[in-house]
Structure 1
């Protein structure tokens, strides 16, 4: 396993960035002498990504690094894992996987075997292609306070009866981006991580103001509703993020499985679109959409005691336990 970036702590100390192999981790401060900036704080380190990237790549590529992590570091199991990102802004792309939109369309009005299913399928596929040609990504904001660690407890009160999961590829920005083109956008990426965009389905649309559209504050923005990690993989380790496979299990049972090539708008296109309306800054996080298999489809939402495992090829696996509050 090539070294990846983690954010860890032990004995209630302040979290610090480290390089990790599959079994051990060693603080980035060990390599501070080579000129890394912000080596004691993940937020500062990522905001200085443009200056740090080349140095980190050189460290990662050095065969001596893995040996140093194993011999001078500590077992990964001895640390508490925190989110490997500390974004100032979090963006979430909505309805961006063909499989998820198609599944939702077929689940409606009598189900996939009900009357009119073939027509619903054809209409949905046609609308997707029209949107692909003429439309743009649909992106909302999610507060940075939502970001949680990859193994944190997820509070679920009994009144949250439609709390749902969404495994997604998290894209961490490494270079400021304004009006970038889609074909150039991946040069702005620092790395990738697993995220789970926890969403309360019953609050997406307000009963007291249905004409105002989606309420992303009530439905997505509570603290802890974006587990991230376990680590961030630098972009140079990922040959093609659009080929990454995503999956999610609930209590060991498969709920979601998909491939990023199913996105309607690619990662580069999402970055380009955002950069036309806002300035993307180093450390910002983009959650790029989720494949089919939501709780809405399965008729099963999160309850206290549930264990959610979410993983992406090469980006690790997070394990979140739901607890009653």
Structure 2
């Protein structure tokens, strides 16, 4: 399941329906038989994990105990079950331009190197800009749609209106209690869990060419159905004491494309959660995406094609596997 956590939380389905389960290694405890421990939570609903997060302070110790009760008949082989997206959030806050190396690479790719500046000069100037932003600036956020979420092993259809679809592996923080205007020093106390996200992007729709003065269009470029593979598991923040120490790796057809530590973030997870909470109350089950490291397809000059397979791994959180398929012709 993971290389770090003794247990995690997942949303699964079998022949008799969907349910939330505690995952330990290659086994899953079906929590439907433990309903008396979680009053008011419908453990068969797709919102079950969100219901547990709403009472996380009391639910987490119970889940820890149930994870150790291995002698009951409530455990099932993971291979017999379908793994669904582990969460249906209300809000998705997405941080952009939050990895130093990624931003520097983007600056080089967009710079006019032949117009008086060398690549080294662009890198040096961008690095100085990042230092200034880190010292004096604030995180950059936009909003995603929950309808873009799909499961960690589901195929994703690439919309036919573009051939410039890209990957963006990200660490996401899962909010565990209402969070409004908290400081960075207390922000991680409001994070219940962490989860793997691949924030797919249609590159040629990021900027509005018809109205360049309004800048980016994240709605069209990031919210197609399935463009937010999520999971496989929610891993308690107790098992991730330092989110800046995790490592993110994405492979495309077996070739490593992204391979970076979260230490390269410009603003830490705590700073991002705090910053997002200054504007809007964050609710249990909300996701705060923390940006993507260097190594996107735009950097490699190799975007997604029909049949490509991405495997996305973050230390201790598991691995998701996503195959992309071209949209059928609409002729």
- Between 85-94 and 72-81, report the one with greater CA deviation: 72-81
| Maintained 8 Å contact 1:47/1:174 | no
Question: Secondary structure at the residue paired with 2:213?
Answer: helix
Question: Secondary structure at the residue paired with 1:102?
Answer: helix
Superposition deviation, residue 61 in structure 1: 4.9
Question: Secondary structure at the residue paired with 2:55?
Answer: helix
| Maintained 8 Å contact 1:36/1:55 | no
Q: In the alignment, which residue of structure 2 is the partner of 1:2?
A: 6
Q: In the alignment, which residue of structure 1 is the partner of 2:53?
A: 49
- Within a 5 Å distance, the mapping from 1:289-300 to structure 2 comes to 289-300=291-302
**1:40 equivalent in alignment to 2:37:** no
Q: In the alignment, which residue of structure 1 is the partner of 2:152?
A: 150
Q: TM-score, normalised by structure 1?
A: 0.93
Superposition deviation, residue 3 in structure 1: 1.4
Superposition deviation, residue 54 in structure 1: 3.3
Q: In the alignment, which residue of structure 2 is the partner of 1:116?
A: 118
Q: In the alignment, which residue of structure 2 is the partner of 1:129?
A: 131
1:24 to 27, 34, 41: 27
Cα distance in 2 for partners of 1:162, 1:302 equals: 7
Cα distance in 2 for partners of 1:204, 1:234 equals: 33
Superposition deviation, residue 176 in structure 1: 0.4
CA RMSD of aligned residues (A): 2.0
TM-superposition CA deviations, 1:6-64 (whole Å, max 9, x none): 100023x5421100112111112233233454133352442452524333334325673
Cα distance in 2 for partners of 1:124, 1:47 equals: 44
Cα distance in 2 for partners of 1:293, 1:261 equals: 16
| Maintained 8 Å contact 1:185/1:271 | yes
- Runs of at least 5 residues in structure 2 that lack an aligned partner in the other structure: none
TM-superposition CA deviations, 1:218-261 (whole Å, max 9, x none): 10111110000011101111121110000100000000011111
Superposition deviation, residue 305 in structure 1: 0.5
Superposition deviation, residue 109 in structure 1: 4.0
